[in-house]
Homo-oligomer: A and B are copies of this chain.
């Protein structure tokens, strides 16, 4: 299985070796698109996909995501970045240029319930999630087999309120060592301290089992049942210092009715959670998300 996935990933990297993505935020003004597209054209780049948004055409913030095909991108990328800087300065841009063939490195954090982990691994095995899965971290042993079967390192780190600082220290070490780009909390039921969160700004994606801002915090399905809602949902968001208050990436819901008890809500909810998280992760990996003002722009 493992070598099969590796073959798929290598084929993808080969096929996309000239594919780049440019993400830009800057004050809105006329001429931005002209300047950027001239720059790309100068390098014979063909724009494959482009999306833009402005909070307010008169004096707001402008955002653009451009996916392009540029001959010899691999060898040119340092030059491109260097040459782009003056233009970026001129328009006061915050920007990133990524090469699609340099796959992002993922860490998956999981607790006892495996459904979100499984969905991500499944997407990955099917070739629908182009990333390296660097490691899986869990405070339980349950998931070890399905992870190691895929040739992915599994780290069992028991975690509780008492040893939080030690545990996080150990986790951060691991994440640095594996040069992880993004951390997926696939129903990892531990709260992260601000120390941990500040190490990985807008790089930690959580799945919360309610349609936020309803049912912030613990036991959302119990509270949904108590309140008698007719819809339950799930929310994927970037983790910030405020619990369940980070920028929302994706949400979805399903219908429930009076016959559904808490256990039924959990079952139904698992299906929403896994698909919502999978979509959020995919968009992050494709550099489709810009965070602005505690909200996301998803291109």
Q: Could you tell me which A residues sit within 8 Å of B by CB distance?
A: 1, 28-34, 37-38, 40-41, 44-54, 57, 69, 115, 118, 122, 126, 128, 145, 211-215, 227-231, 233, 247-253, 257-259, 267, 270-271, 275, 293-298
A296→B118 contact, CB < 8 A: no
With A52-B47, A228-B295, A275-B271 known to touch, is A34 a contact of B31 (CB < 8 Å)?
A: no
Partner of A118, one of B30, B48, B122: B122
Contact A227 B248 (CB under 8 A): yes
List B contacts of A215 (CB < 8 A).
213
With A53-B259, A228-B247 in contact, do A30 and B34 touch (Cβ < 8 Å)? Answer: no
Let me know if A30 and B46 touch, CB within 8 A: yes
Question: Which of A28, A51, A214, A298 neighbours the largest number of chain B CB atoms within 10 Å of its CB?
Answer: A214
Return the contact of A296 from the options B40, B115, B128, B258 (Cβ within 8 A): B258
> CA–CA, A41 to B1, complex, Å?
53
Copies of this chain in its oligomeric complex: 4
Residues of B within 8 A of A259 (CB): 53
Q: Is the CB of B267 within 8 A of A128?
A: yes
Q: How far is the CB of A43 from chain B (nearest CB, A)?
A: 9
CA distance A267 to B278 in the complex (A): 13
- Provide the bound-state CA to CA distance between A231 and B213, in Å: 11
The CA of A144 and the CA of B19, in the complex, are separated in Å by: 37
Point out the residues of chain B lying under 8 angstroms from A298, CB to CB.
257-258
Contact between chains at B53 and A51 (CB < 8 Å): no
Most buried by B among A34, A227, A250: A34
A128 to B122, alpha carbons, bound, how many Å? 19
A228 touches B126 (CB 8 A): no
Given the complex, which residues of B lie within 8 Å of A126, measured CB to CB?
A: 115, 270
Docked pose: A298 CA to B175 CA in angstroms: 42
- Take A233-B231, A251-B231, A275-B271 as given contacts and tell me if A40 and B34 are in contact as well, using a CB distance cutoff of 8 Å: yes
For A37, A128, A247, the residue with the greatest tally of chain B CB atoms inside 10 Å of its CB is: A37
- Of chain B, the residue at the smallest CB distance from A275 is B271
Q: Are the CB atoms of A248 and B267 closer together than 8 Å?
A: no
CA of A118 to CA of B126 in the docked complex: distance in angstroms?
A: 12
Q: Are A231 and B252 in contact (CB under 8 A)?
A: yes
- Of B52, B229, B233, the residue contacting A212 (CB under 8 A) is B229
